[in-house]
Amino acid sequence: MFHRTQRLFLRPAWPEDWQAVYKGICDESVVRNLARAPWPYKPEHARDWASLPHNPASPTWLITLADQGEVVGCIGIDPHEGEIEMGYWIARRHWAKGFATEAGQAVLEIARMMGHARMVASHYIDNPASGRVLRKLGFLPTGQTETRMCLGRGEKVQATAYALSLDSTESLRAA
């Protein structure tokens, strides 16, 4: 599954992408905000991840610059406690450029086309930048904080939960 936005091209990862993935994610400031990436992040982690089979029910995309193909980050949707959850990471050199919001808007469009009525997301409480991205996308805080495992930190961390109704066109705000 592929998707083009104004500045980005979302596409599946291929095994030959492992070095670009490694270059973007191998940063403790990135990994410490991810549930499933270990720290230290090693080349074999990137090789294994880039070689995973694609699952159309839980798609994951590399976020690349449309004009150059450079990997900016990754975004995907996965089942979580009976719902569908969006997660992403952006390489530090691409922070504060609006790429997470732009990629998030694309994934919400795809999720609607896939027939999902609701999406959830969360961020660790010490990562307010992710909360700002989620609110720009129209997610609303649920008022719940949950404890989630963070492999990058090697411990459980408090996370703020968000939800978004995909049934309403009003729920998706332009960034």
Cα separation, 32 vs 71, in Å, equals: 19
**Domains in the chain, CATH or no CATH each:** 3-171 (3.40.630.30)
Residue 76 phi/psi, 5-degree rounding, is -165, 175
Task: Look at the block and give the residue holding tokens 């070095």.
Answer: 19
Q: Which of 43, 38, 34, 45 is nearest to 154 (CA)?
A: 38
- Count CB atoms within 10 A of the CB of residue 27: 15
Say if pTM beats, i.e. exceeds, 0.85: yes
Half-sphere exposure of 82 (CA within 13 A, CB side): 0
Task: Look at the block and give the residue holding tokens 């095994």.
Answer: 15
Kindly give the confidence (pLDDT) of every residue in the chain, 175 residues in length, as a single tens digit, with 9 standing for 90 and above.
899 999 999 999 999 999 999 999 999 999 999 999 999 999 999 999 999 999 999 999 999 999 999 999 999 999 999 999 999 999 999 999 999 999 999 999 999 999 999 999 999 999 999 999 999 999 999 999 999 999 999 999 999 999 999 986 544 443 3
pLDDT score for 167: 84
Task: Note whether 23 and 71 are within 8 A (CB).
Answer: yes
pLDDT score for 171: 44
pLDDT score for 168: 60
Joined tokens for residue 82: 């009976």
pLDDT score for 173: 44
Please count the helices (runs of H) and the strands (runs of E) in the chain: 5, 8
Read off the amino acid at residue 12.
P
